[in-house]
């Protein structure tokens, strides 16, 4: 796999999409490997511990587009975008499309063979301010985003979801989660913004860690943030505590069966980055909220069980009673 790395004066940007695999059951590691074979002849990497995880090889997409800018500067970028699809726990599919922006030495567009030799690198033809580009991509709501990494990620995701190995019978539906991130060089930095449509923006710099390490971190954050949002939405529908037990069960059943056991923060990020995960978690309270939701589900199920048992007992007594 070729992953973007930040070298001196470089900026890595990317978009992540998160959703459920379109399949009725969890896919096995073998199935996941077959589904993720996006590049002929290249291997899918996978691991079984601490939970099932498979990563696709990285297909490349050629781009010739505007470079993002918060101040509306117009700079052309040419190169390739690299994508990777992962399946976590046989249920959650994530696609990340990313590129490293560097200044072009030539200053004009070169033949494609030049760019194909630098997978995942987009060369900026003209004077580019990388801080401005990072802000335009992953902080400002306005500005020009230029490079359509989100569309590329969506397309790769559609391709995976369209695999004939997946039966399309989803046990539960959810909108795709959308994250835009920028990894910069320099002083430590973490800026997190949520847009009105729910898109998460994150700007990040951790001295000593390249984009590949930080991508794992951002991907893991995106996964858990999305899981939390999805569970929250579904529990909202279930009308916990107010709706009749069968409605609650209809919504909560699939959650217990397919979602709740996927919570495993920081399962596959570098140990040095775990404190950063924890810090984000402390501020945004992901785990606290998750624990509260899960406890609520269990308590409600217990309560419904008691109510149903009591109802059954009353019916039995009624039948055996007078007459």
Partner 1 sequence: MLVIATSDKGGTGRSVTACNVAYRRALRGHDTCYLDFDFGSPTSGAIFGIAGIDHGVASGGLHRYLQGDVAEPERVDVWAASSRRSLRARPAATGRLVLFPGDLGGGEFTMDTDVLHRCVKLLVRLDEEFDHVIVDLSAGRSHAAEMLLTATADPELARRMEARWLVFHRWTRQHITAAAGLVHGKSGLVQFAAEHGHRKGSLLEAIRFVRTAVISPDDAAARGLQATQQTWLRRVNSDLNDRAIQLGLGRSFVISSIPLDPVLQWREQILTDADVYDNLANAGTVEAFSRLAEDIESGETWSRP
CB 34 to partner 1: min, Å: 17
Minimum CB separation from partner 1 for residue 109, in Å? 23
The residues, ordered by sequence, that sit 6+ positions from 191 with a Cβ below 8 Å of its Cβ are: 138, 139, 201, 202, 203, 204
Helix segments in the chain, DSSP class H: 29-35, 112-116, 130-138, 149-161, 211-238, 245-258, 274-284, 286-320
Residue 161 binds partner 1 (CB under 8 A)? yes
Binding partner 1 (rule: CB under 8 A), the pick from 121, 215, 238, 252 is 238
> Please, which residues bridge with residue 254 across strands?
none
- List the one residue from 30, 42, 158, 272 that touches partner 1 (CB under 8 A): 158
Q: Where are the beta strands (DSSP E) in 161-307?
A: 177-183, 189-194, 200-205
- Shortest distance in whole angstroms from residue 255 CB to partner 1: 14
Residue 19 is encoded by which pair of tokens?
């959703």
Tokens standing for residue 21: 């695999």
Minimum distance, C-beta of residue 322 to partner 1, in the bound complex (Å): 38
| Closer residue to partner 1, CB minimum distance, 6 or 230 | 230
| Whole-number Cα distances in Å, 74 to 99, 145, 146 | 18, 11, 9
Q: Which of 239, 244, 257, 275 binds partner 1 (CB under 8 A)?
A: 239
Instruction: Return the residue of 243, 260, 264, 303 that touches partner 1, per CB under 8 A.
Output: 243
Structure tokens at 251: 């919504």
Rule CB under 8 A: say whether 167 interacts with partner 1: yes
Question: Which part of the chain contacts partner 1 (CB under 8 A), choosing from 6-14, 111-119, 125-133, 164-172?
Answer: 164-172
Using an 8 Å Cβ cutoff, are 206 and 191 in contact? no
Q: Which residues bind partner 1 (CB under 8 A)?
A: 19-20, 22, 148, 151, 154, 158, 161-162, 167-170, 173-176, 236-239, 243, 247, 251
């Amino acid at each position: 796999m070729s992953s973007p790395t930040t070298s001196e004066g470089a900026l890595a940007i990317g978009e992540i999409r998160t959703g459920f695999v379109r399949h009725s059951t969890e896919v096995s590691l073998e199935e996941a490997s077959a589904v993720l074979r996006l590049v002929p002849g290249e291997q899918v990497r996978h691991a079984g511990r601490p939970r099932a995880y498979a990563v696709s090889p990285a297909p490349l997409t050629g781009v010739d587009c505007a470079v993002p800018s918060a101040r509306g500067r117009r700079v052309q970028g040419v190169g390739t975008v690299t994508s990777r699809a992962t399946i976590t726990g046989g249920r959650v599919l994530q696609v990340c499309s990313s590129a490293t922006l560097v200044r072009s030495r030539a200053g004009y567009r070169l033949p494609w063979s030049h760019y194909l030799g630098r997978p995942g690198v987009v060369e900026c033809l003209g004077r580019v301010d990388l801080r401005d580009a990072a802000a335009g991509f992953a902080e400002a709501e306005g500005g020009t985003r230029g490079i359509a990494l989100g569309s590329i990620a969506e397309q790769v995701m559609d391709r995976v979801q369209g695999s004939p190995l997946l039966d399309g019978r989803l046990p539960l539906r959810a909108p795709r989660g959308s994250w835009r991130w920028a990894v910069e060089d320099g002083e430590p930095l973490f800026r997190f913004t949520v847009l009105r449509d729910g898109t998460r923006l994150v700007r990040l710099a951790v001295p000593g860690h390249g984009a590949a390490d930080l991508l794992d971190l951002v991907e893991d954050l995106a996964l858990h943030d999305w899981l939390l949002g999805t569970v929250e939405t579904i529990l909202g529908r279930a009308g916990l505590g107010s709706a009749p037990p069968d409605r609650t069960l209809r919504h909560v059943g699939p959650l217990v069966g397919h979602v709740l056991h996927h919570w495993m923060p920081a399962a596959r990020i570098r140990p040095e980055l775990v404190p950063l995960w924890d810090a984000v978690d402390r501020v945004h309270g992901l785990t606290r909220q998750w624990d509260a939701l899960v406890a609520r589900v269990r308590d409600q199920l217990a309560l419904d069980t008691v109510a149903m048992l009591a109802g059954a007992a009353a019916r039995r007594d009624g039948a055996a009673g007078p007459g």
